[in-house]
Amino acid sequence: MHTSNTPRLDARLAAAFDFVRPGHVAADIGCDHGKLSAALAGSGRCPLVLACDLRPDPLQKARVTCAPYGERVQFRLGSGLQVLTPGEAEDIIIAGMGAETIIEILEAAPWVFDGRYNLVLVPATKHSILRRWLARRGFALKAETLCQAAGRWYAVMNAQYTGAPCEPDGLYCLTGLTQGQPGCADYYASQNAKLKKYRLGLPDGAEKDAVGALIAELDKLAAG
């Protein structure tokens, strides 16, 4: 996946790397330390990587990390996709932030609602909210990789706009395309713990019953 001189990637970033299409210009939004940008450029997977971050300090770290790859990595300081012009990069990675922030970034850039773009999304929290938003807004989940990094579960999502919105069911929002993947039972157990906590705060009624039914379905999946 990477040559010996490119940075080692954790499981989460390695999964994101694998979803980037070879030969395409990639934008690494929220590039942080720049390890993924460096791996994409250094391995030759991407002819050009645009490393983007909201804050100057991480971008400076990325400059140092990516220095060996010269002009194959360019740097942009600014918010979300505002630092890009439409079409400048066709593979867009958004990692290291919560689902709501990822949604805000995508909503603020209407040009990504186009099938030419390959989205690689790594929500740090609230995976189910992102899956639901993608379905409702006409994006299809093409693939998903479940992985653990620093003791936390991540679902690395590969999505593309189809223009065919749908209303996903609750189980799909919670599990996506992760069924049968290594570690999925543990992932479902962690999702279920959050769901049980949420249900405790609900008044008696239809929503509480629906959440209870979902909990039972997830318990079954977690038990294998």
- Is 115 in contact with 138 (CB distance < 8 Å)? no
Query: Which one-letter DSSP state was computed for residue 97?
Result: E
Report yes or no on whether pTM surpasses 0.75: yes
Q: For residue 5, what pLDDT is reported? A: 63
Q: For residue 223, what pLDDT is reported? A: 85
β-sheet bridge partners, residue 184: none
Q: What is the pLDDT of residues 156-202, one digit of tens each?
A: 999 999 999 999 999 999 999 999 999 999 999 998 998 999 999 89
Q: Does residue 81 surpass a pLDDT of 80?
A: yes
Mean pLDDT of 141-149: 95
Q: What is the pLDDT of residues 86-130, one digit of tens each?
A: 999 999 999 989 999 999 999 999 999 999 999 999 999 999 999
List the structure tokens of 124: 């740090």
Q: For residue 139, what pLDDT is reported? A: 98
What is the spatial distance between Cα 119 and Cα 156, in angstroms, rounded to a whole number?
10
What is the spatial distance between Cα 140 and Cα 158, in angstroms, rounded to a whole number?
9
Q: For residue 7, what pLDDT is reported? A: 75
Upper half-sphere CA count for residue 173 (Cβ side, 13 Å): 20
